[in-house]
Amino acid sequence: MSTYHAPQAPEAESRETTEGTVYTVTGGDWDEVAETAAKADDERIVVNMGPQHPSTHGVLRLILEIDGETVTEARAGIGYLHTGIEKNLEYRTWTQGTTFVTRMDYLTSFFNETAYCLGVEKLLGVTEQVPDRATVIRVMLMELNRLSSHLVAIATGGMELGATTIMIYGFRDREMILDLYELITGLRMNHAFIRPGGLAQDLPPGAVDRIRECVKQLRKNLPEYDKLATGNPIFKARMQDIGYLDLAGCMALGATGPILRATGLPHDLRKSEPYCGYEDYEFDIPTAETCDSYGRFLIRLEEMHQSLRIVEQCLDRLQPGPVMVADRKIAWPAQLALGPDGLGNSLDHIKKIMGTSMEALIHHFKLVTEGFRVPAGQVYAAVESPKGELGVHVVSDGGTRPYRVHFRDPSFTNLQTMAAMCEGGMIADVIVAVASIDPVMGGVDR
């Protein structure tokens, strides 16, 4: 009697142990590329850029085949930051899900939370019941988030070109916005502030005045980026015609956001498929015809001006009212207090329900521990994040936990353009092209 043994990959070695056969698997893709390059007769070599390279915006590994200084082939290796967030969502209640999604693209937390909550609210059928005040605050937080995200993109991109002043200015201005986040949500990032049905709590006293002061200061500071970079001949020489990708390439690869708008197409979900009442706000969609890194920089710069316009309109629209749906079977307890360690239950509220109403205490306990049920079905909801279309596919089986939640993160999709942008260019231009994509690996690996 013969025993069949499956063919073993050359890069996988095995050894027998007391617990069975153990395989040691090494980087097969690297060995394959290196072996192919070694057989070639020319001077081509294969180099690893990352995954710990400071210019890859996180743990992104780029496998570059180069001929001299020219990149002949480029491949992206992802998965080094895999967090299992989508799988973890299946083991948490619908409200607890916001504490996970906010950590995906950690530079655009409010967009992750809003997209997820819009999907859950569609399944619940309460989209129209979300209070106006909550919706306006959501828009305001997202636009502040667009500003902080673009400031990081411009700051880090400038630093990689040696423009350290732009980096210092970018993080200086972002710090003002992070202070607003901390005032409103108790945290500088990973907020879990936008919840299914509304918000965790209302704006704290003095928040509106602080936001107006911040908008005024940012309006004063933003022209400095123009003076430093827009007309700077060294900056333009490093950016123009670098990372080129035209409209046909964007459509084929599914690229959205500033990469797509740099080809001249004014596609923005806030205009084409409005959500959260964006159709009622006045703002423009900046575009460029350059199809290159310089055009993407100009678009991000102008989008920050447009975001300031929207934030001011939000402040003018704020009317007193609730920030959570009225249905107490859905509305998570929003009686929270801002303590030294962030948001938490209000002790006054806890004393009240524990001392005066057994029914309120039981309801609070059931809603927090078990969660509310969401009707069976599936929906897709999308928002325009600073990097492009951020979509979420939410599936419910009628229980208190998601059956499946899958995100279409723009960093993941846009990263596909890396090879098209870099191949045929110089090694130094890879840095510029990746910076113009503005990927965040937390959103890529999820």
The predicted model gives 73-93 an average pLDDT of 89
The pLDDT of residue 315 is above 60? yes
* pLDDT given for residue 7 in this prediction: 45
pLDDT in tens, 159-209: 888 888 899 999 999 999 999 999 998 889 898 899 998 898 889 889 999
Q: What is the pTM assigned to this prediction?
A: 0.86
The pLDDT of residue 393 is above 90? yes
SS3 of the chain: the string is CCCCCCCCCCCEEEEEECCEEEEEECCHHHHHHHHHHHHCCCCEEEEEECCCCHHHCCCCEEEEEEECCEEEEEEEECCCCCCCHHHHHHHCCCCCCHHHHCCCCCCCHHHHHHHHHHHHHHHHCCHHHCCHHHHHHHHHHHHHHHHHHHHHHHHHHHHHCCCHHHHHHHHHHHHHHHHHHHHHHCCCCCCCCEECCEECCCCCCCHHHHHHHHHHHHHHHCHHHHHHHHCCHHHHHHHCCCCCCCHHHHHHHCCCCHHHHCCCCCCCHHHHCCCCCHHHCCCCCCCCCCCCHHHHHHHHHHHHHHHHHHHHHHHHHCCCCCCECCCCCCCCCCCEEEECCEEEECHHHHHHHHHHCHHHHHHHHHHHHCCCCCCCEEEEEEEEECCEEEEEEEEECCCCCCCEEEEECHHHHHHHHHHHHHCCCEHHHHHHHHHHHCCCHHHHHC
pLDDT bin (cut points 50, 70, 90) of residue 1 is very low
pLDDT in tens, 399-420: 889 999 999 999 999 999 988 8
* pLDDT given for residue 309 in this prediction: 93
* pLDDT given for residue 401 in this prediction: 92
